[in-house]
Amino acid sequence: MTEATQRKRIEPVQAVRHSFTLTDNETGESWELPTIHGSIGPKVIDIRKLYGQSGVFTYDPGFTSTASCSSEITYIDGDKGILLHRGYPIDQLAEKTDFMDVCYLLLHGELPSPEEKSDFDTNISQHTMLHEQLVRFYSGFVRSAHPMAIMVGVVGALSAFYHDSTNIKDPMQRMVAAHRLIAKMPTIGAYAFKYSLGQPFLYPENQLSYSENLLRLMFAVPTEDYEINPIVARALDRILILHADHEQNASTSTVRLAGSSQANPFACVAAGIASLWGPAHGGANEAVLNMLDEIGTRDRISKYLGKAQDPEDNFRLMGFGHRVYKNHDPRAKVMRVTCHEVLNELGVQDPTLELAMELERIALEDDYFVEKKLYPNVDFYSGIILRALGFPTNMFTVLFSIGRTVGWIAHWKEMLESSESKIGRPRQLYVGNEPRDFTAVAQREHTEKKSSWSWLWGGNRNSD
Q: Which contacts (CB < 8 Å, 24+ apart) does range 296-304 have?
A: 296/355, 297/355, 298/355, 298/358, 301/355, 301/358, 301/359, 301/362, 302/362
Q: Report the residue number whose CB is nearest to ligand SDX.
A: 321
The minimum distance between CB 55 and ligand SDX, in angstroms, equals 30
The minimum distance between CB 402 and ligand SDX, in angstroms, equals 14
DSSP letter string, 285-306: HHHHHHHHHHH-SGGGHHHHHH
- Taking the C-alpha atoms of residue 364 and residue 375, their distance in angstroms, rounded to an integer, is 7
- Taking the C-alpha atoms of residue 97 and residue 90, their distance in angstroms, rounded to an integer, is 10
Residue 409 near residue 182, CB atoms below 8 Å: yes
Interacting residue ranges for ligand SDX, rule: CB under 6 A: 246, 249-250, 280-282, 284, 308, 316-324, 372, 374, 377-379
| Nearest to ligand SDX of 159, 249 (CB atom) | 249
Catalytic choice (322, 329, 366, 411): 322
| Nearest to ligand SDX of 316, 340 (CB atom) | 316
The minimum distance between CB 338 and ligand SDX, in angstroms, equals 16
Question: In DSSP terms, which residues pair with 76 in a beta bridge?
Answer: 83
| Nearest to ligand SDX of 323, 340 (CB atom) | 323
Is 18 among the catalytic positions? no
H/E stretch holding 444:
none
Q: CA-CA distances (angstroms) from residue 291 to 225, 277, 286, 356? A: 36, 16, 9, 10
| Nearest to ligand SDX of 184, 246 (CB atom) | 246
Is 179 among the catalytic positions? no
| Nearest to ligand SDX of 84, 374 (CB atom) | 374
| Nearest to ligand SDX of 281, 340 (CB atom) | 281
Catalytic choice (98, 245, 366, 379): 379
Q: CA-CA distances (angstroms) from residue 176 to 70, 160, 173, 256, 415? A: 24, 15, 5, 18, 17
In 3D space, the residue among 56, 22, 15, 19 whose CA is nearest the CA of residue 38 turns out to be 15
Q: How many CB atoms lie within 10 A of CB 175?
A: 16
Spatial strand order in the sheet of 82-85:
74-77, 82-85, 88-89
- Taking the C-alpha atoms of residue 452 and residue 18, their distance in angstroms, rounded to an integer, is 49
The minimum distance between CB 397 and ligand SDX, in angstroms, equals 10
The minimum distance between CB 288 and ligand SDX, in angstroms, equals 7
The minimum distance between CB 315 and ligand SDX, in angstroms, equals 8
Catalytic (active-site) positions: 322, 379
